[in-house]
Chain A
């Protein structure tokens, strides 16, 4: 199974700051990576697919990038509503596996 190691596990940042969350894949998964946001008490929402493509309706403050087997989600100009837990997902091979999550809190 492909392991997705996500970091940091948690972070706290101020509005308007820039934050970056990373996922390290245990093997090559190409661009078969997605990012999700889960707000408290809600179901996950797709933010980024194919490593760098923005999902419909998602603000351009969110962006994804890849360097080898490391994937990053960058959130620019943090807003209060960005509070939540962020997960990566590899969809390269079965079983599809998620990262452990990054809890983002706004100061």
Chain B
């Protein structure tokens, strides 16, 4: 059974940093692109970042480019999202997702609140 478990969320002040983690199990992690997708409170879904199987290629939308960094450790079957220079508009639930094309499996999500 595919499982994705996020951690690392919480309350952070504007301008500060936070790092999210996602522990994957139930599939060969190193064979899949992975992604982060977020959802602001009562809002829709927004893709945030994607990383290739080896980690050599990363993709971001303009809204987070230069502030967020996605990375992975295939030996640990883990995905990460380093978020710097956080803004209030980054407040959202962040989902880790397997990304072989569509986002086919999602974690339960972790809440990030950016507020002073």
A positions within 8 Å CB-CB of B = 32, 34, 36, 43-46, 49, 55, 87, 89, 91, 94-101
Contacts and interface: CB of A to CB of B under 8 A. Distances in A.
Listed residue (B61, B62, B107) with the most chain A CB atoms within 10 angstroms of its CB: B61
Interface of B: 44-47, 50, 59, 61-62, 95, 101-109
Chain B interface mostly helix, strand, loop or mixed? Answer: loop
9 contacts: A43-B109, A46-B105, A89-B45, A89-B102, A91-B101, A91-B102, A95-B47, A95-B62, A99-B44
Contacts of B102: 34, 46, 49, 89, 91
A49 B101 contact: yes
Contacts of B62: 95
Given A34-B102, A49-B101, A95-B61, A43 B47 contact: no
